[in-house]
Amino acid sequence: MAAAERRVGVAMDFSPSSKNALKWAMENVIRKGDHLILIIIRPEAHYEKGEMQLWEVTGSPFIPLMELSDAAIMKKYGVKHDPEIVDFVSGVAKEKDVDVLMKVYWGDPREQLCEAIDAIPLTCMIVGNRGLGKLKRAIMGSVSNYVVNNGACPVTVVKSHD
């Protein structure tokens, strides 16, 4: 009997804490045959033209690793091209024989990450922690805390070392 296919989601906003979470996931969770899905949440906006209008509700189609290095494709989805992340993920994907995909959602990160868990569906989710103090967390709300409490799969929060 073959092992179940695992889909590991990593919430990415290209901040140091999300890069740290990605690195931790690649070193500690990802294993041969897994699907690593980078989940990007963009702010909700009204797009007058372009393909983003089609995906505002359901999220973008899955974007394969080979397209992540194309700045024009990243611009089409409203995502900043980050060669450092692409190089890192490409290296580990080859080394561990992992499929890497990206999916972009638009809206509130808390709600969209929980939506991604259900829609994809994910086996587990890895998120970074910005290390907000108690006051800022109370005012702004904690994305990681919300996903831990409302996500329908195991969620690991990787604390920032800063």
C-beta of residue 33 within 8 angstroms of C-beta of residue 5: yes
**Which of the following CATH numbers is that of domain 7-159: 3.40.50.620, 3.30.70.20, 1.10.357.10, 3.20.20.70?**
3.40.50.620
Query: Are 54 and 44 in contact, with CB atoms under 8 Å apart?
Result: no
Q: What is the pLDDT of residue 87?
A: 93
Residue among 157, 124, 133 at smallest CA distance from 143: 157
Which whole-number Å values give the CA distances from 138 to 62, 134, 141, 145, in the listed order? 34, 6, 5, 11
- φ/ψ of 93, rounded to 5, equals -60, -40
The tens place of each residue's pLDDT in the chain, 162 residues long, gives: 345 789 999 999 888 989 999 999 999 999 999 999 999 998 876 555 555 666 666 888 999 999 988 988 888 888 888 899 999 999 999 999 999 999 999 889 999 999 999 999 999 999 998 765 555 545 445 888 899 999 999 999 998 765
Instruction: Kindly list the domain boundaries of the chain, sorted by start residue.
Output: 7-159
Distance between CA 138 and CA 42 in Å, rounded?
22
Give the number of other Cβ atoms within 10 Å of residue 37's Cβ.
Answer: 22
